Structures are given as structure tokens and as C-alpha cells.
């Protein structure tokens, strides 16, 4: 039983006790009977539902890295995240014909993650233009508990527009939802070619070749496709004000369009591309890239006002000595992404709640309740009777500086190195127990129609 803390829900906060029995929340109220319970004193602290990180690229364990999957999920728990959804790794789900298949990818994912996770987890399948007959498998994928799947409008594995629109329609008919990476290749590709031809290949030029208009144009195009398909759409890692405006317009028209942003877009600006060495910039090569201070302010306003629905880490466990590679290669060859699974709640709380940009109730909504609702995690995301007892006791007054040496993820760097943050978890419960041995469960999900 967690006693005396301020229990936070999306609709309000109050000092209360939380009784936990058999992994579920049994009661929430004042002065609950304590007989038979272990008591966790949360006086002066916040009691939050565990964060749900719906956007990660956790790598599967293999012979060379036998604990990789479990280590990154343990890192998530150390930061206050109690459920993780991840995308299947490139190269998984190879069929006997030598091609990739979403259903084969699900089978491989479940087999290779069995008894490895210390917290609950699920899969969001990647649908690429290189997979034959992938869209035909979507109904069965949804039926087997994977109702959300991601496609890309860029890269050599992008899904063509007609296939994107068809995937949206299949999702609408079968209880699924497409997650879409929105960037416009007709803007990006010529800029990359021009930069390379002129010798501008340093890491900092990656951002210059992916301007906000590329993201905004693709976002508008995706929204139009979803409107024609009469389908829900989830836009991943939205980073700029122009794309945010497109989402706001769609929501105002009643269209079921949802959008997430990421902590790095809320805490770091594009000033780092000019102010740091090329080796340091390489750590922040992500797509879309970091944006201006004005974009950061717009994103916080979008979170506060409900235009943005979720914050996800977009965790990519790259290493400087492997995927990122030092010395830095030409920017088109640099692996995109960076780690963030452990710092998600700390960055959002510190940069948002502690600085007055976001209420703690709204933080709980975008980190827990909304991800649970949108992604079919009906037993999670709220501190209410009958829900899974995924509970975080949070010290709002803790002060620390984020350092790679203090983190538990499988990367060897953090993009937040040196960032001073306020607030930290002091106790994390997954289904009512302290996080420890690999007792996490694969969660088969179902989402409701919008």
C-alpha cells in the first residue's frame, strides 16, 4: 500500500492511499486499513501511474548481446516507465522465401523476448515498402494483439502513398491505427544531393537538409490521405510549429488525427548544431532534426492545449563505437536516433511541470492515460480501482544532472548530457511489485474505434 502521497490523475490530484492486491489497484481513498499490507510512505511525494512509452526501437537480444532487450526495459523502469511498446528490428521476420513479413516478425519478436522483460511490453509492427503482401497480413496482425503499425514516407523502405492510404483503410475496418513518419522526400532528397555534391557532409548538415517545411508538407498530405480513407492517423515524433498547425486544423474539423512529440524536441534546440563539435552533433542526428526555440515553445503550447496527445521517447539505443561510428562519417551514413527510454519522465516533468509549462495532471495524461487509451492498454495508465498497479512514487523536489555514467540503458551516450533536471522516481512498481526479475508480460492490445 502506498500511503500519504498526492495521487495524480488527468482530472485532478489529492492526498490519498493506494491499496494494491494481486497486482491490481484494490482501493484509492483516505486512511485505508493497512493490516496485511506492506506500507510505502509517500508523504510529500507524488503518486503517478507509470509512464507508457509507445515509441521505442529497443533492440532484441542475441548471442552477442544476451541481455540487451531486458536491460533497456530495466532502464525504462528506472526512469518511471512501466510499459514499453517497441518496433520490431530491421531484419527480423524473414520468411523461408527470404523476404520480411509482419506476421513472421511478430512470431520472432515474441519468441526472442520471452522471459526477458522486467516490465510489460508490446509490439508495434513496422510496415515497409520492401515487404511483399504486408498489407494483406494486417487484419491477422490486429487480431493477434498488434493493432498499431508504423510506416515511413521517407527512406528506401518507404511505403508508397497508395499503400499508405490502403493501410489506413484496413486499419479503420479492422480496429487498427497507422503510425506514420511524416517527411517529404521531394524536398529532402535534392537538398541532400546538393549538400553532398558541394562537400557539406558534416553531421550538422543533416538538419539543414530536413527543414520544417518538409515535415509540414508530409503531415498535411498524410492527414488528407487519412481523411479520404476515413481512418484514424497517429503522427509520430512531430517537431515543428508548421506540422503542429496542420494537426490542430484537422482536430478542429473533427478528424481522428493524433500526434506525439518527443522529449528531445521539448528540451534541446537546433542551436547545438552550430555551437558544438561535429562529434557532439553526431549524437543528435535524428529525424526530424532538432528545431528552433520558437518551435519548442509551440510544442509546449500544443501539449498544454491538447493538440499533441502523447510524448514518446523515440529511443534508439545507438552506440558511438558501433552504429554512430567515430570519427563521424558523412551525414547521410550516420545512424539516425538516440537513447531516451530512461529519461522520458524526468525531462517532461523538469522542463514542463517544474517550469510551469504543463500541469502535473496534463503530464500524467500525455505520458500515461492517453497512450493507454490510444494504443489499447485498457488496464493501464491510471491510478483507479481495477487497473494494473503500475505505480511510481515521485519526488518533485529531487535535483540531479543527467550523466551517461548514471544511466542504465544499452547506449554509451545520452543527448541530455549535463541537463539539470528537477524530480525523480524513488519507487517504481510494476503490477504491484518492485521491478526486478524478468516477470514482464507481452500485452496483446485492442483499440476502440475513434
Residues composing the chain: 450
The residue-averaged pLDDT of 403-412 equals: 97
Is residue 143, in this structure, part of any structural domain at all?
yes
Q: 236: domain CATH number? A: 3.20.20.140
Decide if 54 contacts 82 (C-beta within 8 A): no
Q: What is the percent of the chain where pLDDT is above 90?
A: 90
Q: For the beta carbon of residue 213, count every other beta carbon within 10 angstroms.
A: 13
The residue-averaged pLDDT of 153-160 equals: 94
Q: What is the pLDDT of residues 73-103, one digit of tens each?
A: 999 999 999 999 999 977 788 887 777 899 9
Domain extent at residue 233: 51-379
Q: What is the pLDDT of residues 365-401, one digit of tens each?
A: 999 999 999 999 999 999 999 999 999 999 999 999 9
Is residue 154, in this structure, part of any structural domain at all?
yes
DSSP 61: P
pLDDT at 321: 84
DSSP 304: H
Q: What is the pLDDT of residues 208-259, one digit of tens each?
A: 999 999 999 999 999 999 999 999 999 999 999 999 999 999 999 999 999 9
pLDDT at 449: 57
Confidence at 104, pLDDT banded by 50, 70, 90:
very high
Strand order in the sheet with 148-152: 51-56, 81-87, 120-126, 148-152, 177-181, 233-235, 257-261, 310-311
- Phi, psi of 92, deg, nearest 5: -90, 160
Query: Does an H or E element contain 196, and which?
Result: helix 185-197
Residue 22 neighbours by CB under 8 Å, 6+ apart: 432
DSSP of 68-94: HHHHHHHHHHHTTEEEEEEEPPTT-SB
Q: What burial letters (b/e) apply to 88-113, b meaning 16+ CB within 10 Å?
A: bbeebbeeeeeebbbbbbbebbeeeb
- Phi, psi of 204, deg, nearest 5: -65, -20
CA distance 444 to 122: 7
Is residue 39, in this structure, part of any structural domain at all?
no
CA distance 178 to 160: 14
Q: For the beta carbon of residue 114, count every other beta carbon within 10 angstroms.
A: 10
3-class secondary structure, 37:
coil
Is residue 264, in this structure, part of any structural domain at all?
yes
Q: What is the pLDDT of residues 319-358, one digit of tens each?
A: 998 888 888 899 999 999 999 999 999 999 999 999 999 9
Q: In a 10 Å sphere around its CB, with 0-12 CB exposed, 13-18 middle and 19+ buried, how is residue 356 labelled?
A: exposed
The residue-averaged pLDDT of 313-324 equals: 93
Is residue 9, in this structure, part of any structural domain at all?
no
Is residue 30, in this structure, part of any structural domain at all?
no
Considering the chain, what is the average pLDDT of its residues?
A: 96
CA distance 446 to 21: 25
Decide if 372 contacts 310 (C-beta within 8 A): no
Q: Which long-range contacts (CB under 8 A, 24 or more apart) does 245-253 make?
A: 245/216, 246/216, 246/219, 246/220, 247/219, 247/223, 247/302, 247/307, 247/308, 248/302, 248/307, 250/223, 251/306, 251/307
Is residue 444, in this structure, part of any structural domain at all?
no
Residue (of 341, 443, 321) closest to 58 by Cα position: 341
The residue-averaged pLDDT of 4-29 equals: 98
Domain count, the chain: 1
Is residue 424, in this structure, part of any structural domain at all?
no
Amino acid at each position: 500500500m502506498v500511503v500519504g502521497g498526492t495521487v495524480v490523475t488527468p482530472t485532478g490530484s489529492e492526498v490519498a492511499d493506494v491499496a494494491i492486491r494481486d497486482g491490481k489497484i484494490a482501493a484509492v481513498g483516505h486512511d485505508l486499513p493497512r493490516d496485511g499490507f506492506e506500507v510505502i510512505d509517500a508523504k510529500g511525494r507524488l503518486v503517478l501511474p507509470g509512464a507508457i512509452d509507445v515509441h521505442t526501437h529497443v533492440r532484441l537480444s542475441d548471442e552477442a548481446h544476451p541481455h540487451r532487450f531486458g536491460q533497456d526495459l530495466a532502464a525504462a523502469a528506472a526512469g518511471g516507465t512501466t510499459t514499453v511498446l517497441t518496433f520490431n528490428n530491421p531484419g527480423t521476420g524473414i520468411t523461408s522465401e527470404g523476404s520480411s513479413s509482419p506476421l513472421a516478425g511478430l512470431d520472432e519478436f515474441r519468441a526472442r523476448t520471452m522471459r526477458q522483460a522486467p516490465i510489460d511490453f508490446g509490439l508495434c509492427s513496422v510496415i515497409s515498402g520492401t515487404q511483399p503482401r504486408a498489407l494483406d497480413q494486417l487484419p491477422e496482425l490486429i487480431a493477434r494483439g498488434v493493432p498499431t503499425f508504423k510506416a515511413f514516407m521517407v527512406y528506401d523502405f518507404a511505403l508508397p502513398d497508395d499503400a499508405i492510404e490502403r493501410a489506413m483503410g484496413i486499419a479503420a475496418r479492422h480496429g487498427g491505427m497507422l503510425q506514420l513518419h511524416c517527411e517529404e522526400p521531394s524536398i529532402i532528397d535534392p537538398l541532400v544531393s546538393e549538400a553532398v555534391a558541394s562537400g557539406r557532409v558534416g553531421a550538422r548538415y543533416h538538419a539543414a537538409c530536413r527543414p520544417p517545411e518538409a515535415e509540414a508538407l508530409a503531415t498535411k498530405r498524410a492527414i488528407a490521405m487519412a481523411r479520404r480513407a476515413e481512418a484514424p492517423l497517429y503522427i509520430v515524433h512531430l517537431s515543428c510549429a508548421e506540422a503542429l498547425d496542420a494537426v490542430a486544423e484537422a482536430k478542429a474539423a473533427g478528424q481522428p488525427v493524433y500526434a506525439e512529440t518527443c522529449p528531445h524536441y521539448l528540451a534541446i534546440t537546433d542551436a547545438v548544431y552550430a555551437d558544438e563539435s561535429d562529434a557532439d552533433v553526431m549524437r543528435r542526428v535524428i529525424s526530424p532534426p532538432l528545431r528552433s526555440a520558437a518551435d519548442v515553445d509551440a510544442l509546449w503550447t500544443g501539449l498544454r492545449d491538447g493538440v499533441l496527445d502523447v510524448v514518446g521517447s523515440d529511443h534508439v539505443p545507438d552506440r558511438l563505437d558501433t552504429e554512430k561510428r567515430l570519427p563521424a562519417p558523412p551525414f547521410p551514413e550516420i545512424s539516425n536516433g538516440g537513447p531516451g527510454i530512461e529519461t522520458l519522465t524526468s525531462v517532461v516533468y523538469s522542463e514542463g511541470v517544474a517550469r510551469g509549462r504543463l500541469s502535473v495532471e496534463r503530464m500524467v495524461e500525455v505520458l500515461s492515460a492517453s497512450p493507454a487509451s490510444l494504443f489499447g492498454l485498457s488496464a493501464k495508465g491510471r491510478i483507479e480501482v481495477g487497473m494494473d498497479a503500475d505505480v511510481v512514487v515521485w519526488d518533485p523536489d529531487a535535483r540531479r544532472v543527467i550523466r551517461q555514467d548514471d544511466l542504465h540503458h544499452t547506449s554509451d551516450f545520452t543527448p541530455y548530457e549535463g541537463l539539470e533536471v528537477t524530480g525523480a522516481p524513488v519507487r517504481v512498481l510494476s503490477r504491484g511489485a518492485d521491478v526486478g526479475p524478468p516477470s514482464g508480460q507481452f500485452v496483446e492490445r485492442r483499440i476502440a474505434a475513434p
